[in-house]
Each structure stands twice: as structure tokens, then as C-alpha cells.
Chain A
Amino acid sequence: MRLSRRDFLVKGVQLAAGGLVATTVVGKVWPAGTTLAQGKEAPRDWTRVWEEHEWAFVVDTRRCIGCGRCVVACKKENGVPLEAEVTRTWVEQYAVMADGRTEVISPHGGQDGFAETKVTGEMSKAFFVPKLCNQCEKPPCVKVCPVAATYQTGDGVVLVDRERCIGCRYCIQACPYGARFLHPELHVADKCTWCYHRITKGLLPACVQTCPTGARQFGDLKAPDSAVKKILEEQPSNVLKPAMGTEPQVYYLALDRVVI
């Protein structure tokens, strides 16, 4: 039996079209992961929970005293080793010197305070700036993940699935704020979760709760008596690197223009 070139092409196109239709049909009636995958217990339905919340984080740089209690609390709450150089949140000390230079330091993320690194010399101003994941509304870290291990929840928090993460570090590179790191023990990407296990239980993030001066505030913009909503309505605020287009949800009060 011989097929002409024309017949071969016609049959080939017909088979390809048939395959496409079959794939689509089977895909509809048998979605991925429904029958054969090892089934865990049915997860709680979060869609309704997410509708009720819109979290926001407010940092008042005028109130930060650089004690580093937030950094220590974060590490203890979230299982990041104290001795590790990496951290989910940190405090930076800025000093704008008289000659115009800006000196920025954050020894051990500020977890041991700034006693050893006091600013000396002629300066025009000095202050502390707490930093953490901005939980961007348009997170570049989520976009670059090749294995769908990082994602944004419906209430706006960016999380990392430790079971799926392969530790490729693309997300660490993608974050314009340096908020991600490779967990030194688990070897997966790690980052601030706004203490998702606390806020979903009605508690404050550990750093907010332990901040002695109220430099860190957290709340739900959808709550009727929301303190952070009131602050953001009444006071001028800014976000870090607005030109990046990431739409951060950490809002800074009295943010100096030298802060990057």
C-alpha cells in the first residue's frame, strides 16, 4: 500500500485534529489530580475566608529605635536559626553624613542591636528603617518560579510551598527588595509570610507584637475599626521602590528619600 504525499498530509492533519479534540474532551471530564494522585485530607475552603480580609502593614520609621527585638522574635517564631545571616525581617541604620554620603548598615539584620555601629562624625540625619517582605500585589518572585512553588493567597500574602520548591533561587534574584533567601537548613526559598499562621488565627505577626515602640503596625483594611486603615487615611505614606511597579502592601510613614 502506498500513500500519496497529499493523502499522507490530509490523514496527518485529521489525526492531529482528532488528538487535540480527544485531549480537550478527556481533560474536561478528568481534571488533573482527581483520581490517581495520592489524596490528602480535603483542605479547608479558603475562598470565603480570603474575601473577608485585606491585610496591610504600616512601618513608622520615626518610631524605630533599632533594638532588633522584631528580628529575634521573627526568627524564633518562624524557625530561622538565630546564628544564620539570613532573616525574614531586618532593621537598617541610615546615616546621611554632612558631606552628602549615605551610610547604610544592618549588622546581623540588626538582631543584636546597633551598639557596635553607632554613627559618629558630622551628619545631617540618622534613623532606622525596618524591612520585610512587601507582599507585593504584583509579585515578580511568583512570576519567575518554574515549579509553581510560590504563589499569592487570596488575602494578598505571598507564600512558598516547601514541598514543591526545588531551591533554584530564581525568586531570590527576582525580588527587588532582597526579601527572599535560601533557608539554611531546609534548602528551600524562604521569606516573610506576615506570620500567616498567626494572622489567620486572629493574632498579630510576631515582629509587630514584640515591637516596643509601635514602629510596626498590622491590620485588616476591611475590619470596621481598622487602626491601619485610619493611619493610611490620615497620614501621608509611601512604599519602597514604587518605580518597580510591584505595588507593595507595606506602607512607610516618614520615609526618607535616601531609603532604597
Chain B
Amino acid sequence: MSGPHLKFYHQPWFRAFLLVVAIVIVFFVARDLATPASFGQYGYYRGQNVNDWATREVAFSGGSTTCQACHQDKHEAWAAGPHAGINCESCHGPAAAHPANPGQVRPEVPAGREFCALCHDINVARAKAVQQVDVAQHNPGPDCTTCHNPHRPLPVGMGGKQ
């Protein structure tokens, strides 16, 4: 086949073999460098990313019971009225950072007729179980909270406003 005077490492088949070995090594080193450490831990993705998502900070707290500890009066009014069960943060916005730093992190206090209208303006697509008024016609001008206690919104004269 090949000349008898050639040592094996001069043989063409051996040189080709070395080339294949080199390609294999380069492939594995390159693959290792390009693959993130946790790739394939759970599946065909970067396993660490599950941690990345799960450890994100929350903006909204765990619920209304968190607020009760400090705002007992509001909680009692809320629990006795038609807004009971609606989360504090539905109207007041994200407040998870508020308890640790109550002076600096102030939850939103919605104002204006448009905010109440989001739920209570007349709309044919809206569930009838929710109290609806024609906001444009109903005592136009003042904020809803002038007459209605937002935490216990009963009709005027029925103890709604504190």
C-alpha cells in the first residue's frame, strides 16, 4: 500500500487521523466555552434562568391582611362594606415596599371621578352585579369621595361617609 521506507507517523492515514483528533478537540473546547454552565440541567435551556425569574422582587404585597396590621380602622370599614374582598392594592397600587419604609414609599391615593368610573360607570358590557351610575349625570363636579367613603361606599345618609 504505502512505501516501506516510511515510519507510521509519516504515513498519510496517520496524518489524517491527527487532523480528525484535532478537529474533535477543537469542537469540544469551543462547545464548552459557548455553553452556559447550567444549560441542559432540566431540559434544552439554561437552568439558571428559572432561578432568575423566581427570585425577582415583587411589587405587589401578599394581600390585604398585610395592610391590616397598621391600618386597622380602614380595614374594619372596608370589611363591613361592599368593597370587602377587593384587594387594597387594586386601588392603591403596588405597596410591597411600603411596610418597611412607610414614610418614603407612599402607595397611590387615587383621586378624581374617572377612577371610580372605571368600575362604576354605566356600560352595557359590564356585569350588572356591580353598582353602576351614569357618571356624567350623577352629581357632576365634585370627587366621588366628597360624598362616598371609598373604603365603605354606602349611599349618602346610610353611614357610608365617615
Contact = CB atoms under 8 A, between A and B. Distances in A.
Contact of A33 (B35, B86, B122, B130): B35
A151 B45 contact: yes
B16 to A, nearest CB: 6
Contacts of B121: 113, 115
Interface string B10-37: 0111001100110110011101110111
Interface in A23-70: 23, 26-27, 30-40, 43-44, 46-47, 62-69
B24 A26 contact: yes
A148 B44 CA distance: 6
Contact of B29 (A36, A47, A93, A161): A36
A200 B58 CA distance: 11
B112 interface: no
A7 B130 CA distance: 87
A3 interface: yes
A1 B38 contact: no
B161 to A, nearest CB: 21
Contacts of A32: 31-32, 35, 39-40
Contacts of A149: 45
A161 B49 contact: yes
B41 interface: yes
Contact of B17 (A15, A31, A64, A72): A15
Given A126-B125, A212-B119, A201 B58 contact: yes
A9 interface: no
B101 interface: no
Interface stretch (A171-179, A202-210, A226-234): A202-210
A33 B127 contact: no
Contacts of B54: 44, 196-197, 200-201
A225 to B, nearest CB: 17
Interface stretch (B72-80, B88-96, B148-156): B88-96
B13 A15 contact: yes
B3 to A, nearest CB: 5
Given A64-B127, A115-B118, A127-B125, 20 more contacts: A11-B12, A15-B17, A33-B35, A33-B37, A33-B38, A35-B32, A36-B32, A43-B38, A65-B123, A65-B127, A72-B93, A73-B94, A77-B60, A77-B94, A113-B117, A115-B135, A196-B53, A201-B58, A210-B90, A212-B86
7 contacts: A47-B42, A72-B93, A73-B93, A113-B121, A203-B63, A212-B90, A212-B119
9 interchain residue pairs of minimum CB distance = A151-B45, A197-B56, A126-B125, A33-B35, A32-B35, A161-B49, A113-B118, A36-B32, A212-B86
